[in-house]
Every structure is written in C-alpha cells, then in structure tokens.
Structure 1
Amino acid sequence: MEIANQRVVYIHYTLTNDAGEVLDSSRDAEPLAYLHGGGNIIPGLENALTGKSAGDKLVVKVAPSEGYGERNEQLVQNVPRRAFQGVKDIQPGMSFTAQGSGGPMRVVVTRVAGDMVTVDGNHPLAGENLTFDVEVTEVRAATEEELSHGHVHGPGGHHH
C-alpha cells in the first residue's frame, strides 16, 4: 500500500542538522506513527513520503520553509521578571506557555539579567536545515476514529 492522504504511516527516522549532529531518532524505540495528510509532521517530510511504501528507505533534506519555519526575531522579547508570578528562580532553558496574538505559545527563557527576562517563542529548530534518514515500516488504512480525531491511535500513536 502506498503512502497517501488518510493512511496511517509508521516510520523509523534519524534527524540530523547541517553539522551532522543527531537531533532525534526513533531507531531505539517504536516507529513514529502519523496520519498522512493530517498535518501531524512537517510538510517537507510528509511531501517526500507521499507515494512511498513499506520497506522504502530515503534521505530527505528539508529547508526551514518546509520544516519549522525561519527564525522570527520578533518572537524574541524582553519581559519583566514580574510577568513570571509564582516562579522564584527563573533560569535559561526553562519553558513556559505565554499568550501570543495567535493564542497560547511555548517560549523558552534564553537570558536572565536583573529584572528582565529574555524569552524566545521560535521553535527550537526554526531556521535549521534538517536531514531525515527514513525507513517506512508500515502503511495501512486509517480507522474511522483516527480520521475523525485527526491522529493515529495505539502503538506509536496517541492514547486516549
């Protein structure tokens, strides 16, 4: 069965950056399961997998525009420490949910200087060229429940 919209796909992958550093991998775990065409994975990888079948192996290079987007310096802001009510020791690397113009967004503290805290709302991989070394392990039809929920259920997928 070929990968197409509304099919469940299982892949093993290793993700690296331009420096060859491994950023993520499923190789020592269950394969990643996703609903093709459901926006569950980045567009560049999903597009490259269309038409592939179980057993296919490929290397996919994904530019930022087809991955996690370009870095947006407007998402880096300095906010007063008092905005973090109830948090006593704010440190770089901590993440919080902030209310942005488009709704809730994840921000990461990148710097603390006196009463000011710098937060970054960019995805950690924004602006990065990504390389996926992928093996398709299974392709199957999605269940009605998976289609209505927009994601895969069971091993490698979502559990309710």
Structure 2
Amino acid sequence: MKIQKDKVAQIEYTLTNASGEVMDKSDGQPLAYLHGHHNLINGLEAELEGKAAGDKFTVTVPAADAYGEVEDFMIQQVPSDLFQGVDKLEVGMRFEAQSDQGMQSVEITAIEGDMVTVDANHPLAGQDLTFEVDVISVRDATEEELDHGHAHGVGGHHHH
C-alpha cells in the first residue's frame, strides 16, 4: 500500500538543521499521521506521497515549504510589565500569548531596560530542514480519523 490522501502512515524520522544539529527525532516512537490533511509541513508531506512501508529516504525541505520564512512583523517590542507574575524575564523564555490570530507562542529574544523583544515566528522559521525518514507502515484511515482530520492510536493524536 502506498502513502496517499486518507492513508495513515507511521514514520520514524530524524530532523536536522543546516548545520547538522538534531532538532527533533522520533526516537523509537513512530509518528502516525493522516496524509493529505496538512498534519505535516508541506515539503515533507509531498516527499512522502507514493512511498510504502520499508522505504527510507532523506529530504531537505526549504524554509518556505517547512515553517516559513522569518516574518519581521511577528517580532515586536512590548513593555516588560505585560509579563505579570514572572519573577525574572530571560532571553529564550517562551510564553503563550493571546493575539488577533488566537493563541501564539512567543520567545523573548532581547531585553533592553523595560522593553522586551518577542518573536512569534516558529522556532524553526527561516531554516532549511533535513528529514531522514523511515516509513514503518501504511494503512487506510478509519472513518473517525477522516472526520477528525488526524491519526488516532499509537503515535497519533489522543483525545482526553
């Protein structure tokens, strides 16, 4: 069976950045995803199309087809008193912030006096990403998975 829309595939993967640092890996916990439903970044999903269990490949996905380019408008300076209840603000801290687009994860990238620079870009934005992938299995999605738009069960999404 080949990976195509409405199939659930389980993959083992290692993600490295342009300098070869490992950013993420499945580490013996395969990831199950529903193909054709934007559960993965575009560039990786496109490469998986048509693959079958046992296929192994490496693909480098350019930033534009991964987590996008770094968008300047998503970097802004805010007064530090917005961070109430945080004892000590430090560069690298991540926060969930309410924005016009709903909840966004932001990272503090600089602190100058009482102004804090926050970046709402994805941590991997602007980076070309290399995935080493091993396709473990491919199966038909269940009706429920199709309704929900993602894989359930081992390695998939769990409802609590």
- TM > 0.5 between the two? yes
Q: Distance in 2 between matches of 1:37 and 1:116?
A: 43
Residue 18 of structure 2 corresponds to 18
| Secondary structure of the structure 2 residue equivalent to 1:19 | coil
**TM-superposition CA deviations, 1:6-40 (whole Å, max 9, x none):** 110100111111111111111x3211111101111
TM-score by length of 1: 0.95
Gaps of 5+ in 2: none
Aligned length: 159
Residue 123 of structure 2 corresponds to 124
Quick one: percent identity of the two aligned structures? Answer: 57
TM-score by length of 2: 0.95
CA drift at 1:88: 2.4
CA drift at 1:132: 0.6
Matches within 5 A, 1:80-95: 80-95=79-94
CA drift at 1:113: 2.1
CA drift at 1:85: 2.0
Q: Which moved more, 1:29-38 or 1:46-55?
A: 29-38
Q: Distance in 1 between matches of 2:99 and 2:69?
A: 18
Matches within 5 A, 1:6-155: 6-26=6-26, 28-155=27-154
Q: Which runs of 4+ in 1 moved over 3 A?
A: none
Q: Distance in 1 between matches of 2:89 and 2:154?
A: 37
CA drift at 1:100: 2.6
| Secondary structure of the structure 1 residue equivalent to 2:8 | strand
Gaps of 5+ in 1: none
